Amino acid sequence: MPIRKTRATLSDGRALLYFDDTEPYVGGTATRELHDGRDLKPVAASSTMRYDALTGEWVTLAAHRNTRTFLPAVDACPLCPTRPGRAATEIPAADYDVAVFENRFPSLAAPSATGVAKYVDGETLWPQRVADGRCEVVCFTSDHDRSFAQLTPSRVRTVLAALVDRTRELSALPGVAQVYCFENRGEEIGVTLAHPHGQIYAYPELPARTAALLRQAEFHRTRTGRSLLRDVLEAERRSGTRMIVDREYWTAYVPAAARWPVELHVAPRRDVADLTELDDAELDELAQVYLDVLGRLDRFFDGVARLPYIAGWHQAPTGTGRELGRLHLQIFSLMRSPHRMKYLAGSESGMGAWIGDTTPEQIAARFREVAP
């Protein structure tokens, strides 16, 4: 399907991109509003990363985010289009299909951020660095009240095209170790803007989950000569007990060691490192599968119309360890029963010793019950 990409710049220098799939814009007979009439000061991000010697993980410190926008009224939503009679928003156009822009309150600073001392307090135990990655916001639709699950397959396809585009461009930036595209939905999990949107993080260091996965994948390859994520997918397909969807190009299943009360993974049948390696047929089917599984989430609990969830694309690193990664989507909810959230207990928060509130087999059975 044809999609038109248009670049613009916001008044503070941040990038804005439109991805259009409707006329008159996709055909080029009209263009989106490119002028941002606001008088914004340049973003002053001061993010740093400190190395935790006890865990081997990097912790990002972004104190400037404490002042970010928090649950504004609908008529003050910064992700809605800029329309007559309302304050200007992050998107100058009076309407849009899909829009992507650099976050005004980024967790990761711009590469031009001021340098920091190599060590905290001069102690070599605590290396630190500028968190020089990039954070972008992806607006799925101009309709404030529509959820991702309510989009048309063609609009989901446009969102996917935008994620492919951003993964390709951000992966090519100097110093980017991994690109993570994700959506948070629901105030219960900390969403501060109700407008349907996602985010993209370009990390300068591999996050803890990716680092752990690569360690396991490397051990598995050394021991067996095979891909860990490929073997997991094939084992789930052979078992069948936790399968949700199994189509020509995509499979959805509840992982055998699912942690969350509601969780599933969506994986391509073909080995691909990231979204940029998918072909048109795979992306077309993915748009349908994505809507299928999100619809099941919203039917999972009786009386819960919009289940809060996190959906994130795990992509291979851009450099070292790329051959060990394999694209997959993880979707999970912190809701353990209708309107009751799972809060991490002392053993889970303090020690990382996870305790499930159900079984993966029960989760899978419920997903099959609520099939469309």
Pick from 330, 331, 103, 98: nearest CA to 202: 103
DSSP state of 27: T
Give the strand order in the sheet containing 128-130.
57-61, 48-52, 128-130
Q: How many CB atoms lie within 10 A of CB 39?
A: 8
CB 116 within 8 A of CB 126: no
The DSSP output letter for 91 is: B
Mapped onto helix, strand or coil, the DSSP state of residue 210 is: helix
- CA dist., res. 102 & res. 138, Å (int): 9
Residue 47 has which token pair?
């993010």
CA 372 vs CA 18, 88, 255, 299: distances in Å: 32, 40, 21, 9
Give the HSE-up count for residue 188: Cα atoms under 13 Å, Cβ half-sphere: 18
197 part of the active site: yes
Whether the Cβ atoms of residue 39 and residue 32 lie closer than 8 Å to each other: no
Which residue of the set 197, 220, 265, 314 is catalytic? 197
Return the active site residues: 197
